[in-house]
């Protein structure tokens, strides 16, 4: 059993859990994830690791209340336990000294990208971070992102809080490369936003990576639920990712359709729906 050490409500629907899991904390690296099961009859749910403490043996992650399991998780209190907590899973994010790195984040990426940005900064990179949120109530983790970013841009609202909110400042920067070059772009956001970023940078000669979080079951490559069409053949987000070269991913429409298959219009926040999304 894995004990809940702390539970913090970050926004109306976003929560942070800190779990006692020394075996995960010892090996965790930026960009990796965990899979948990609430009880022996519960479903397996993946979450990106947002922080860890090797000495204390704890692991943090954030989640959004969008269904039965996460609604139950929202009621967890300090001292409660989880039946299973497996990780770290996936490959760590690629970290090196690239130069000027632009990071685009929304949703769970507001927390999940922090360890990556922190490590990139420690490597001597200059960091520009673009945050996106549907509204002010959906914003969280600004201070942590600001701490490790040289420049922080915050996009709130827009048409449904859609991808254009974050895409516009990135497109403006792409038009100004002679004045302010970019050496790398990385995104941890909604699939539709990451798709638009991939298309916007495809012919710019800038390495662009995205952190994929498709539907996932076992997290070890056996089920195939997280498969994606890739220039190098079928890849699995759980073992080949979750970070991928954005320009090598194919069939974005299929990824978006699978991601939204079980979405329930009655429980989704207004900003969940992307601008002109063919799935809605």
> Looking at the domain assignment, is residue 52 inside a domain?
yes
**Torsions phi, psi of 148, nearest 5?**
-110, 10
- Residue of 255 and 179 predicted with greater confidence: 179
Q: Same domain for 48 and 123?
A: no
Each residue's pLDDT tens digit, 140-158: 888 999 999 999 998 876 5
The answer to whether the CB of 209 falls within 8 A of the CB of 201 is: no
Q: In this structure, is residue 230 part of a structural domain?
A: yes
Q: How many CA atoms lie within 13 A of 27 on its CB side?
A: 12
For tokens 């841009």, the residue is 153
Residue 265 lies in a domain: yes
121 and 140 belong to one structural domain: yes
Alpha carbons 132 and 115: distance in angstroms, whole number: 18
Is residue 161 pLDDT above 80, yes or no?
A: no
Residue 128: band (very low, low, confident or very high) from pLDDT cuts 50, 70, 90: very high
What CATH number did the domain enclosing 42 receive? 2.40.30.10
Whether the per-residue pLDDT at 113 is higher than 70: the answer is yes
Please tell me the predicted confidence (pLDDT) of residue 258.
67
Domain match, 128 and 85 both? no
Look at residue 280 and tell me if it is in a domain: no
Residues 61 and 41 in one domain: yes
Number of structural domains the chain divides into: 2
- Domain identity same for 188 and 159: yes
What is the rounded CA–CA span in Å between residue 224 and residue 79? 35
29-48 residue pLDDT tens: 999 999 999 998 888 899 99
Tell me: do 141 and 235 sit in the same domain.
yes
Is there a domain that residue 278 lies in? no
Percentage above 90 pLDDT, the chain = 48
Q: Which of 66, 89, 112 is the last residue of a domain?
A: 89
- 185: CATH: 3.40.50.80
Backbone torsions φ then ψ of 45, nearest 5 degrees: -130, 130
Predicted pLDDT of residue 65: 87
Q: Which domain holds residue 56?
A: 2-89
- Any long-range contacts for 37-41 (C-beta under 8 Å, 24+ apart)? 37/82, 37/83, 37/84, 38/69, 38/72, 38/73, 38/82, 38/83, 39/83, 40/83
Determine, yes or no, domain membership for 123.
Answer: yes
Where residue 279 falls among pLDDT bands split at 50, 70, 90?
A: very low
Within a domain: 279: no
Residue 239 has pLDDT above 90, yes or no: no
Lowest mean pLDDT of 151-155, 245-249, 254-258, name the range: 254-258
* Last-in-domain residue among 58, 89, 120: 89
pLDDT tens digits, one per residue of 186-214: 999 888 888 889 988 988 889 999 998 76
Same domain, 119 and 236: yes
Q: pLDDT (tens digit, 9 = 90+) per residue, 167-179?
A: 888 888 888 888 8
- Give the predicted TM-score (pTM) of the model: 0.87
- Residue 55's alpha-carbon distances to 3, 21, 89, 157, in angstroms, are 16, 11, 20, 40
Please state, in angstroms and rounded to a whole number, the distance separating the CA atoms of residues 12 and 121.
Answer: 31
């Amino acid at each position: 059993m894995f004990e809940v050490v702390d539970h913090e409500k970050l926004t109306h629907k976003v929560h942070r859990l800190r779990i006692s899991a020394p075996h995960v904390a010892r090996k965790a690296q930026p960009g990796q994830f965990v899979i948990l099961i609430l009880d022996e009859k519960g479903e397996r749910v993946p979450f990106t690791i947002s922080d860890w403490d090797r000495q204390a043996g704890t692991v943090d992650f954030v989640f959004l209340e969008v269904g039965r399991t996460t609604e139950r998780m929202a009621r967890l209190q300090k001292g409660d336990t989880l039946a299973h907590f497996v990780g770290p899973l996936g490959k760590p994010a690629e970290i090196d000294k690239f130069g000027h790195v632009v990071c685009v984040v929304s949703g769970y990426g507001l927390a999940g990208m922090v360890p990556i940005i922190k490590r990139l900064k420690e490597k001597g990179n200059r960091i520009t971070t673009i945050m996106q949120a549907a509204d002010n109530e959906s914003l969280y983790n600004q201070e942590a992102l600001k701490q490790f970013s040289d420049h922080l841009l915050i996009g709130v609202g827009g048409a449904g809080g859609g991808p254009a909110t974050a895409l516009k400042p990135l497109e403006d920067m792409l038009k100004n490369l002679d004045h302010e070059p970019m050496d790398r772009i990385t995104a941890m956001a909604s699939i539709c936003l990451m798709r638009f970023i991939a298309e916007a940078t495809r012919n710019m000669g800038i390495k662009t990576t995205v952190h994929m979080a498709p539907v996932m079951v076992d997290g070890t490559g056996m089920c195939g639920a997280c498969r994606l069409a890739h220039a190098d053949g079928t890849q699995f987000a759980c073992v080949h990712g979750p970070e991928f070269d954005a320009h090598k991913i194919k069939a974005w429409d299929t990824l978006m359709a699978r991601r939204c298959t079980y979405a329930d219009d009655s429980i989704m926040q207004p900003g969940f729906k992307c601008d002109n999304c063919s799935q809605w």
